[in-house]
Amino acid sequence: MSRNVEIEFKNILRKDEFLAFMRFLNIRECDFTEQVNHYFDTPEFSLKSKGSALRVREKNGSFEITLKQPHPEGLLETNEQITESEAQEMLATGKILSKQIRHTIKQMDVDTDKLQYFGSLSTARAEIEYLNGLAVLDHSRYLNQEDFEIEYEVKNREEGEINFYKMLKELNIPVRKTENKIKRFYNEKYRQQKET
């Protein structure tokens, strides 16, 4: 089990801007790896309403459960490695097997028995060190949608912010209000549920 505060900047991109960032950062198609995020919440979106999110990430044959919660500096992430069979059981039942994460969710006044699997978001991701941070290019597909984004993960908020906006300016890419992936996924899931 690990906990860390995630400080990152992000911007949604058009496909041509995504390709421009690939050239700018010297990223090739073969540098991308595939990962799948499986998302969970209650039917009433209880975690989302508290600014939190729960996922199981599948990457290179390994599985990790992550609870994200609001934090003054960014997001507090609680991570735990799980087995493939534990991940499959969670997808089938919505039951959270991690005692620590289940306890933390209960402390948020969310009924863990109501959690259910909402769906998956697949991402082709490439990462590269850039100016004391990690530049991440993501092409995501979920719920019949697709999007492109740049993320910049840093340890120092002030320095990271300067470097991030400098990159966007250099490529003539406008700053766009960008929700994180799980919020984009939930917003689309919520929109689709309202249509049915």
Show the low-confidence residues of the chain (pLDDT under 70): none
Nearest to 13 by CA among 22, 3, 4: 22
- Whole-model pTM: value is 0.84
Q: What is the pLDDT of residue 73?
A: 78
Please tell me the distance from the alpha carbon of residue 162 to that of residue 86, in angstroms, as a whole number.
Answer: 41
Q: How many domains does the chain have?
A: 1
Say which CATH number the domain at 113 has.
Answer: 2.40.320.10
Name the DSSP letter for residue 158: H
Predicted local distance difference test score (pLDDT) of residue 10? 96
By residue range, what is the domain housing residue 15? 2-195
